[in-house]
Structure 1
């Protein structure tokens, strides 16, 4: 289970947002994130809000699709009563947990609720995460037939020893099978990798990168392992059972995958994401990085609409109770002031390839760009054209760039 929820103001039971949330809404897209908080086992590194069967305290997986559909219907009323215009949904993303632990019919019912109550734009991107051992060809065809367009497989590594350290239970030899089944169903495919696992070598990482490329996906994500407080992995590191991931080795691993993906025809479009074409980028994740509007459905899910952020009760049983009462599952929220919104715009915008227009920065930040170029953190040619775009070194030190642009 994840750590404590953020502190914030109380969220109203009717879900009504402050008037500021409606300002400029016609210029923003709307996305839905549907959190499925169930996992067969808990991985030692994970701090996501997920629950195994023994932790549900009376909540039922079989009831979850209807509970989530209730929040989808609640969302349309709350947005309308808050003065926001009716907007069809541009992207839908099922994350977890393991969404594909539920029957395909349950995911389809949740998607149908979005389609019925909000409407979905033609050509919308509809993605689900999946573990390689949680789907088969029939399951994937059912999703594609229902309108899903994309699947993101949690591959993480191709090396059994590394998977064991992460406590991932799938057989790495299954990954090519599920990717092929997804393609045959007509779905775009992303594979997710993690680098910097304790004990993982550069050669281990090279094997994983080559194995991912061999499946010929449309998209690859690669995230450095972050040791989150409260996880089993954090306790193992603290007690000396495993070693803390080496930051220099993680940098070498990032440089390896970036070079190898470039050779294979992939282009980076966000610090941790590469695609074979602009069309195969994750439009849902881009909505986050571009500060669009999204409503998060489910226990512990976070939402953002017009500078207002809120978060739901964490436990599935508490969430089910709120849905049965017909009240908002949100337990807290915050309204960002102008300074916080600008910080977030720079923090997120600097991570994507399109970068940030220099003319949109504060005067002090514009002055800082010259130093970032001198330190090989920002692309000089792009800066001359008016944009802050990270170099390879800048991607490795993205937090440094953001600090200097917002100091």
Structure 2
């Protein structure tokens, strides 16, 4: 598979965490990510840890829910034995892959296991990703009845030629139908879009934005296409079969998205995410950007608790072999030192609209703030009030801002 895992240090088979992980845990939110690593087909641009039927080497999708449930039980026991404060789960996110390739009953059993292990906060956010061609009305109703609150549809584009380049197989005309079904079931709706696909024009991108807005989603994500090494798309570009994405056009597309979405009443709250208001922001993703705790369930899933980070073995067969004998599926882990945690805090929190308190910067970084204001990368008025908040130009150059601050 193209994606790789870091080396890290050996992870103990009992999953026990060092004392550092429990410090201040009661003051941090706790989330659970459940990775479903199955896809019908592999999109040419994707380097996620996913598998089609021909790549599973004897692993059965029908067994997966029980394996994930086994890790949930293992996780709860490991956290308890490590002395980490027990907290109800604030957010649950089913990602992939395509979670809705599993029957709704399997997803519901996995959610029930999370609820039994830790309990869900009264206002818990429970999301599943879904492809427009992988759900029916009855599935969405079953998920809502079990406690799911959001669904994030992988729309990507409304333009058939763009979807073909991305190797997305759904019919764009089906997206409004599944959105209507989700609404009828009482679920909040998010739409994921990709821009900068080779051959995509600014007019194509506008068409996709307008099509998405016509469905009135609560939340929109718009991600620039990144050509990852090892993917089919990267090989096509290297052979000259597909054009390299144009950075200037990609920037124009971001600016268009921000203008169109703002005019429609959507507020940006993270560089690539917009919502109709505070209550429709993805709280699970915000927990990542704010450095909260989460346990990642499934092959290749990453976890973080109190500055301790670990990642599971990648292949579903290796994962199943470990969890079914009660061993940690972790391939490796690392305990972050204070400097690394500081750098990551800056890198992640500078991306969100709430901003980063300037008081949390070190002296060298604070000396950069005036220059960032002069260069139009951060909002001067917010900086005077003590918060570093990116301008539109700053969002386009967020990586450069982070380099200057770290």
Q: Which stretches of structure 1, 4 residues or more, deviate above 3 A after TM superposition?
A: none
**Shift of residue 24, structure 1, vs aligned partner:** 1.1
Question: What aligned pairs does 1:3-402 form with structure 2 within 5 A after superposition?
Answer: 3-402=3-402
1:2·1:50 contact (CA, 8 Å) conserved in 2?
A: no
Quote the RMSD (CA, aligned, Å): 0.6
Q: Which runs of 5+ in 1 are unaligned?
A: none
- State the SS of the aligned residue for 1:198: coil
**Shift of residue 367, structure 1, vs aligned partner:** 1.2
Q: What is the number of residues matched between the two proteins?
A: 406
d(CA) in 2 for partners of 1:89, 1:345: 22
- State the SS of the aligned residue for 2:38: coil
**Shift of residue 2, structure 1, vs aligned partner:** 3.9
**Per-residue deviation, residues 171-205 of structure 1 (Å, max 9, x unmatched):** 00001111111011000000000000001000100
d(CA) in 1 for partners of 2:73, 2:341: 28
Q: Could you tell me the TM-score, scaled by structure 1's length? A: 0.99
2:26·2:86 contact (CA, 8 Å) conserved in 1?
A: no
Q: Could you tell me the TM-score, scaled by structure 2's length? A: 0.99
**Shift of residue 4, structure 1, vs aligned partner:** 2.1
**Shift of residue 342, structure 1, vs aligned partner:** 0.2
d(CA) in 2 for partners of 1:252, 1:4: 32
d(CA) in 1 for partners of 2:283, 2:6: 27
- State the SS of the aligned residue for 2:93: strand
d(CA) in 2 for partners of 1:324, 1:127: 26
Q: Which runs of 5+ in 2 are unaligned?
A: none
- State the SS of the aligned residue for 1:286: helix
